[in-house]
Amino acid sequence: MTSSYDPKKITEIHEHLHSELPSDPALRVKALESLLVEKGMVDSAAIDAWIDLYAEEIGPKRGARVVAKSWTDPAFKARLLADGTAAISEFGYQGHATGHVVAVENTPVVHNLVVCTLCSCYPFALLGMSPGWYKSQEYRARAVRDPRGVLKEFGVSVGDEVEVRVWDSTAELRYLVLPQRPAGTDNLNEDQLAALVTRNSMIGTDRVLKVAR
């Protein structure tokens, strides 16, 4: 039995294997985690629990619950627009990332877009981890200079009759966009409404929320 050596095939296998490897930062984080676990300084189960919490529980779900509540409870909505931090605390969501939150409302003639031009300040306790594009230099610069162009790249087209307001977050002031409630959702409860809210709609790069048929 003979075997043949195919350089092209070997190269393809090599590239495939390396394409499956995590990024360099991810490898560094994993190495650091392994070292800390080995030294007994952290519990890997606890790390997994925190990751699951941010991905599944905190994520954008907290913000979505706040939005859904504002859609169904006019009194809560009024409190939220008057003092976002105080209203959000009614859910028990507290901490630095939920402090100093200002809620801004989308309407048929107003669309709000949030950016952090200096760095990437973001209410992660409400929206989960910030997306990569939010932290990019291009988004941070162009969102202020050409917000309509940025929105168009996200598939959001706003007419000339719609005013686009750009809000610049800081370490001491974060913004939460209240998207418009989709039409035809009068029969949905808060949980069902919350499921319609997207992370991007609470940043402002999504405008018309979709209702499953």
CATH number, position 138: 3.90.330.10
Count helices and strands in the chain by DSSP H and E runs: 12, 4
pTM of the model: 0.75
* Catalytic residue list contains 130: no
Read off the pLDDT band of 18 (50, 70, 90).
very low
Let me know whether 73 and 176 are in one domain.
yes
* Catalytic residue list contains 89: no
What number is the average pLDDT over the span 94-106? 79
**HEC states along 114-177?**
EECCCCCCCCHHHHCCCCHHHHCHHHHHHHHHCHHHHHHHCCCCCCCCCEEEEEECECCEEEEE
Residue 212 domain-assigned? no
Task: Assess contact for 106 and 82: CB atoms under 8 A.
Answer: no
Let me know whether 111 and 151 are in one domain.
yes
Please give the residue that has the higher pLDDT: either 22 or 99.
99
Please give the residue that has the higher pLDDT: either 146 or 15.
146
Question: What is the predicted pLDDT for the residue at 131?
Answer: 87
Let me know whether 35 and 122 are in one domain.
no
* Catalytic residue list contains 157: no
Let me know whether 135 and 184 are in one domain.
yes
Structure tokens at 116: 């952090």
Residue 94 has pLDDT above 60, yes or no: yes
Q: Which of 120, 130, 136, 201 is catalytic?
A: 120
Residue 148 and residue 113: Cα distance in Å, rounded? Answer: 10
Q: pLDDT tens digit string along 165-201? A: 999 999 889 999 999 999 999 999 999 999 999 999 9
Question: What is the predicted pLDDT for the residue at 3?
Answer: 47
Residue 19 domain-assigned? yes
Residue 17 has pLDDT above 50, yes or no: no
Let me know whether 124 and 180 are in one domain.
yes
Q: pLDDT tens digit string along 31-80? A: 776 777 777 877 877 766 666 566 555 679 999 999 999 999 999 999 99
Strand partners, 175: 102
Residue 159 domain-assigned? yes
Task: Assess contact for 112 and 147: CB atoms under 8 A.
Answer: no
Question: What is the predicted pLDDT for the residue at 5?
Answer: 52
Let me know whether 108 and 186 are in one domain.
yes
Let me know whether 33 and 110 are in one domain.
no
Question: What is the predicted pLDDT for the residue at 50?
Answer: 60
* Catalytic residue list contains 121: yes
Let me know whether 67 and 138 are in one domain.
yes
Q: Which of 121, 136, 157, 169 is catalytic?
A: 121
Q: Which of 34, 119, 136, 157 is catalytic?
A: 119
Please give the residue that has the higher pLDDT: either 110 or 28.
110
The residue segments making up the domain with residue 170 are 60-203
Q: Which of 70, 116, 169, 201 is catalytic?
A: 116
The total of structural domains in the chain comes to 2
Let me know whether 134 and 197 are in one domain.
yes
Question: What is the predicted pLDDT for the residue at 29?
Answer: 63
Q: pLDDT tens digit string along 131-148? A: 889 999 999 999 999 999
Question: What is the predicted pLDDT for the residue at 43?
Answer: 80
Read off the pLDDT band of 212 (50, 70, 90).
confident
Task: Assess contact for 193 and 181: CB atoms under 8 A.
Answer: yes
